Amino acid sequence: MITGCAGANEPLNETRAEAKAENAAAKSDQKQKNLPNIRMLATGGTIAGADKSKTSTTNYKAGAVGVDALIEAVPELQDIANISGEQIANIGSQNMTNQTLLKLSKRAGELLASDDVDGIVVTHGTDTLEETAYFLNLVIKSDKPLVIVGSMRPSTAIGADGPSNLYNAVKVAGSKEAKGKGALVVMNDRIASARYVTKTNTTTPDTFKSEEMGNLGVIANDIYFFNDIAKKHTKETDFDIAKIARLPQVDIIYGYQSDGRYLFDAAVKAGAKGIIYAGSGNGSISDEAKKGAAAAMKKGLAVVRSSRTKNGVVTPNPELEKAKLLASNSLNPEKARILLMLALTKTNDPQKIQTYFNEY
Ligand code: DGL
């Protein structure tokens, strides 16, 4: 009897154990289902950088590690998201071209339109990160979180900032609070708007600042948003990545003492459709450069004054406005170039272009 009972209990115990395991698996499946689906689009940069030396933080190879290795390096990501990756490019962001920018943005747009994706994280070199981020901020037609992240130290360095930046980026991309805020840059425990943030230091991990306008939030274990972006973005703009096939050439000319018109002439000759003049102070332009700008505008180019000070508003100037020289509002020269390229896909009307600069 006893033996019989014991014998009868064995399969029962097995069944119970199986049921328990199934239950646990179902629970974990359920848990996975409750996690946001985040797609990571990798483009290279220091976050994917590697070097033989653990103490080298400058002479490493950017874009050496692939997207799967980036995800595997931070196993904790699995606790906060169902994460999968795609390699769009593996480059230093100084080599980001309009073509790669379009490829990345189109893919981000497609993914965000899908019900299977709750948010996107783009990994990117920090050098031109703000340009890509601002472009995405203007062309993506979705409210879902879109986060751009990089690092200042390569993945092999002591105190690499990539893993924590990546973890924070995925956390923000999976959060409800990040919806409808445009493209966000997450670095060094801060959440910044792509519209306001800029790289301010060549090497330090706290390089990204939103100097005049402030950050949108911080990550202190949890996510704390405390600002909204006042400028139009994503769904509110006239630009839709699905409809943009190519971008016109827009060049930046830096203003300095004794500058001349010849750089304007060279840009026109090279096929530019627009020029950003990084003027001194409040977008001041020398008389010689003004001649270059006037000649370019006569050929149909749009010319926008920005400021090499990188802070503050370039204010309208009645005399220059009469000459149809536009003003970049508070966009720095590299972001002004991004907006002018997009504006020129829509119009050549200086007044309409100026409206874009005032509103975006
Ligand atoms: N060359 C740089 C780039 O990819 C590396 C710098 C970085 O990612 O921080 O932008």
Q: What is the 3-state secondary structure (H, E, C) of 1-40?
A: CHHHHHHHHHHHHHHHHHHHHHHHHHHHHHHHHHCCEEEE
| Ligand 1 close to Cβ of residue 85 (< 6 A) | no
% the chain with pLDDT above 70: 91
pLDDT over threshold 80, residue 317 = yes
Out of 70, 91, 127, mutate this one to test ligand 1's pocket (max ligand atoms within 8 Å of CB): namely 127
Return mean pLDDT, the chain.
92
Residue range 6-30, pLDDT digits in tens: 444 444 455 555 655 565 555 455 5
Tell me if domain 35-236 and domain 249-359 are identical in fold.
Answer: yes
What is the whole-number distance in angstroms between the Cα of residue 315 and the centre of ligand 1?
Answer: 32
Residue range 41-59, pLDDT digits in tens: 999 999 998 888 898 888 8
What is the whole-number distance in angstroms between the Cα of residue 68 and the centre of ligand 1?
Answer: 19
| pLDDT band at 60; cut points 50, 70, 90 | confident
Q: CA 199 to CA 188: how far, in whole Å?
A: 12
| Ligand 1 close to Cβ of residue 62 (< 6 A) | yes
Closest CA to 128 of 169, 96, 165: 96
What is the whole-number distance in angstroms between the Cα of residue 31 and the centre of ligand 1?
Answer: 36
| Ligand 1 close to Cβ of residue 96 (< 6 A) | no
Q: Exposure pattern of 30-57 as b/e (b: 16+ CB <10 Å)?
A: eeeeeebbbbbbbbbbbbbbbbeeeeeb
| 152 CA: nearest ligand 1 atom | 9
Domain 35-236 class in CATH: alpha beta
Please tell me the least confidently modeled range out of 12-16, 189-193, 235-239.
Answer: 12-16
Retrieve residue 137's tokens. Answer: 């901020």
pLDDT at position 322 is 85
| Ligand 1 close to Cβ of residue 217 (< 6 A) | no
* Cα dihedral 317→318→319→325 (10° resolution): 60
What is the whole-number distance in angstroms between the Cα of residue 58 and the centre of ligand 1?
Answer: 10
- C-alpha distance across the termini of the chain, in Å: 83
* Integer Rg of the chain from CA: 25
pLDDT at position 19 is 54
Strands (E), 235-286: 250-254, 274-279
pLDDT over threshold 90, residue 232 = yes
Mean pLDDT of 74-88: 97
Mean pLDDT of 205-221: 97
The residues carrying an active-site annotation are 46, 126
Contact yes or no for 124/149 (Cβ under 8 A): yes
CATH number belonging to domain 249-359: 3.40.50.40
Which one-letter DSSP state was computed for residue 280? B
| Ligand 1 close to Cβ of residue 46 (< 6 A) | yes
Q: Where are the domains of the chain?
A: 35-236, 249-359
What is the whole-number distance in angstroms between the Cα of residue 158 and the centre of ligand 1?
Answer: 17
pLDDT at position 22 is 61
- Distances, alpha carbon 127 to alpha carbons 207, 249, 334, 347, in Å: 10, 20, 11, 30
pLDDT over threshold 90, residue 1 = no
| 45 CA: nearest ligand 1 atom | 4
Retrieve residue 281's tokens. Answer: 């102070």
Q: CA 304 to CA 296: how far, in whole Å?
A: 11
| Ligand 1 close to Cβ of residue 150 (< 6 A) | yes
Mean pLDDT of 81-107: 98
